[in-house]
Chain A
Amino acid sequence: MNAGMETYSAFNLLRHALSGHRNWPASWRSPQLKSRYDVVIIGGGGHGLATAYYLAKEHGITNVAVLEKGWIGGGNTGRNTAVTRSNYFYPESTRFYEHSLKRYETMGRDLNYNIMFSQNGIISLATSRHDMEIYRRWVTSIQLQGVDCEVLSRDAIAEKVPLLNVSASARYPIYGGFLQSRAGISRHDAVAWAYARAASALGVDIVQNCEVTGIQVSDGSITGVQTCLGDIRTDKVASAVAGHSSLVAAMAGVSLPIVSQCLQAMVTEPVKPCFDHVVICPAVHCYLSQSDRGELVIGGGADTHPSYGQRGSLPSTEAVLSAVVELYPAFSRLKLMRQWGGTVDIAPDSSPIVSTTPVTGFYISTGWGTGGYKAIPAGGETLAHTIVHDQPHPLVEPFSLDRFARGRLIDEGAAAGVAH
C-alpha cells in the first residue's frame, strides 16, 4: 500500500506490542481545507469516501476533498444493519449489486482493513403459496445471471433457523423461502474507516465538521462550493449525502425525484450465538441477524411519512417487533438495548440514481434508499468513473437521472426486501 500508511499485519501488531500500542499512526490525516480542488465530494459516508478512493486509485485524481458536516460514517453508514447481498430481480440491479458483493469479498485484502465480513447467507421467508411461486421466478432470474441463489423447502429452513416458528398453527406460516449463501454482514464503521484510510494515504483530503452551505454555478457549470470553513474553487462537485440529497441538489439548482423518510433499526441485548443467517420476512416487514457481539440486529420497513428527524416512529417499531416475536417466540424475552433511525433517500422505483445532471460538473449518487450499504464499493467506483468521464459508468447507465423522463424505471420495490 502507500508509503504514507502503516500496513496492518501480524508483524506490525507484534512490533507495536513492544511499545504498548502507543505509537500507532492516525488512520487518516486531518488536513486544512484548501481553496482549490479538482473534485469536491459532499458527504463523508461510505459512498463519498469510496468515490474519493476510486478517483485516486483508478483515475489518479488525488486533489480531492471529501466534506463531511459531522464525522465520517456518522450518517447512514453507521446506522444501517450491515447486510450485503445481490439477490435483486432485474438484470440491471443484479449486475450492479453482484459487482458490489464481489468487492466486499476482497475488501479486507484490497484495503488492508478487517471489515469482519461474514458470508453467512440471507434467507427470505415465504408465508404463502403465492410467495413461493414468485420466489421460484425470482431465484430463476438471479440464477440466469450467474449469481448463487436457491429455493429452500420449509424443512430446510427449519434446520437452518431452529428458533423460527414453523408450526402449522403459526401466525405467519412458513412455506419455504430462498437463500443467497454468499450474502453476509460486516462491520459498517470499518468500511467507512477502510476507505477513509486508503483514500487519505493516496492524498485525498477528508475534512470533517465541514458543512456545505452553497454551490456556485455559473453559465450552467459548477465553479465552486461554499462551506462553513471557507470557499473552494472547483469544476466538479459530487453529492453523496443520502437523506439530504434534495437539499444539496437544490443548492446547484437541480430538482430530484427523491423523498426522505426514516428507516429504523434496533438491537437486543447480546446473547450467545443462536442465529446463523440473515433472515428476512418481507410479508411482515422484519429482518434479523446476529452481530459478532451477540446482539440481534433487527430491521424493518421505513416510516411511511417524509422525515428528516433521524428517529423512528413508534407504530413502525411496534410493527417490526410484533413480527419478530410472532416469528421467533423465544426472542420475546430479550431486552431491546437500542433503537435508532436514519434518513433514507427513496426514489419512485426504489432504485438508485448515479448520474450526471443538467448542471455541468455536478454529479449525484442518491436514491440508495433502504439499501445503500451493500452498494458502497460499486457506488463509489461507478460515481468516480462518471465524474472523470462526464458520462455514466456502464454499470449505472440504467440508473441515470433521465430514466424518469424516458419512462425506464427499474422497479425494485420487492427486491428492496420489505415494503417501504
Chain B
Amino acid sequence: MHIIDCPWCGPRSEDEFSCGGQSHITRPADPAATSDTDWAGYLYTRDNPRGLHFERWRHTFGCRQWFNVARDTVTHEIHAVYRMGDPRPDVGGAGS
C-alpha cells in the first residue's frame, strides 16, 4: 500500500493513482531513420529493475496530473516525487 505525495494535492491513497510505467524514455528523434529493432526497444524494452525505479504516475481520481516517482520495487518505499520534465533526482541506491 502506497501513500503517494501528489505534487499538487498532497499525500493520497494509492487507490487514486495509476502507474504509467518507466519514466525518462526518449522517443527517437527521427523515427524514419530508426531501425525496427531500435523502435521496438523504444516501444517495449523496459529497465524493470529490482530496487530503485523511476516511473510515471497519474493522479487519475484527483487532479489528473502526471508526475514522476522514484520508488523501490522491492520495499515499495517512495524516495522522491518530482514533476514531469525534471531530471532524475539523486536519491542514492540503485536498482539491480
List chain B residues, Cβ under 8 A from A406.
36
Contact between B48 and A309, CB atoms less than 8 A apart: no
Does B65 sit within 8 A of A, measured CB to CB? no
Contact digits for B73-96, partner A, Cβ 8 Å, 1 yes 0 no: 111100000000000000000001
Contact between B45 and A244, CB atoms less than 8 A apart: no
Q: What range describes how many residues of A lie at the interface?
A: 20 to 34
Does B53 sit within 8 A of A, measured CB to CB? yes
Contact between B40 and A246, CB atoms less than 8 A apart: no
CB closest chain-A residue, reference B57:
A305
Contact between A308 and B1, CB atoms less than 8 A apart: no
Contact between B19 and A305, CB atoms less than 8 A apart: yes
Contact between B21 and A313, CB atoms less than 8 A apart: no
B interface residues, tally (CB under 8 Å): 30
Does A196 sit within 8 A of B, measured CB to CB? no
Main SS at interface, chain B: mixed
Does A228 sit within 8 A of B, measured CB to CB? no
Contact with B55, one of A247, A255, A306, A405 (Cβ below 8 angstroms) = A306
Contact between A315 and B1, CB atoms less than 8 A apart: yes
List chain B residues, Cβ under 8 A from A257.
40, 44-46
- Complex Cα spacing A314 to B18, Å: 15
Contact between A309 and B40, CB atoms less than 8 A apart: no
List chain B residues, Cβ under 8 A from A407.
36, 40
Does B43 sit within 8 A of A, measured CB to CB? yes
Does A186 sit within 8 A of B, measured CB to CB? no
CB closest chain-A residue, reference B69:
A305
Contact digits for B1-27, partner A, Cβ 8 Å, 1 yes 0 no: 110000000000111001101100000
CB closest chain-A residue, reference B76:
A309
Does B41 sit within 8 A of A, measured CB to CB? yes
- Complex Cα spacing A121 to B84, Å: 48
Does B50 sit within 8 A of A, measured CB to CB? yes
Contact between A309 and B36, CB atoms less than 8 A apart: no
Known contacts A309-B76, A405-B37; decide if A244 and B43 are in contact (CB<8 Å). no
- Complex Cα spacing A259 to B13, Å: 23
Known contacts A255-B45, A257-B44, A306-B55; decide if A313 and B37 are in contact (CB<8 Å). no
Instruction: List 17 additional contacts besides A257-B44, A309-B75; criterion CB under 8 Å.
Output: A246-B47, A255-B41, A255-B45, A256-B45, A259-B21, A259-B46, A260-B73, A305-B71, A306-B19, A306-B21, A308-B73, A313-B2, A314-B1, A315-B15, A348-B43, A404-B43, A406-B36
9 pairs of A and B residues whose beta carbons are closest in the complex = A257-B44, A305-B19, A246-B48, A405-B40, A404-B40, A314-B1, A405-B36, A308-B50, A405-B37
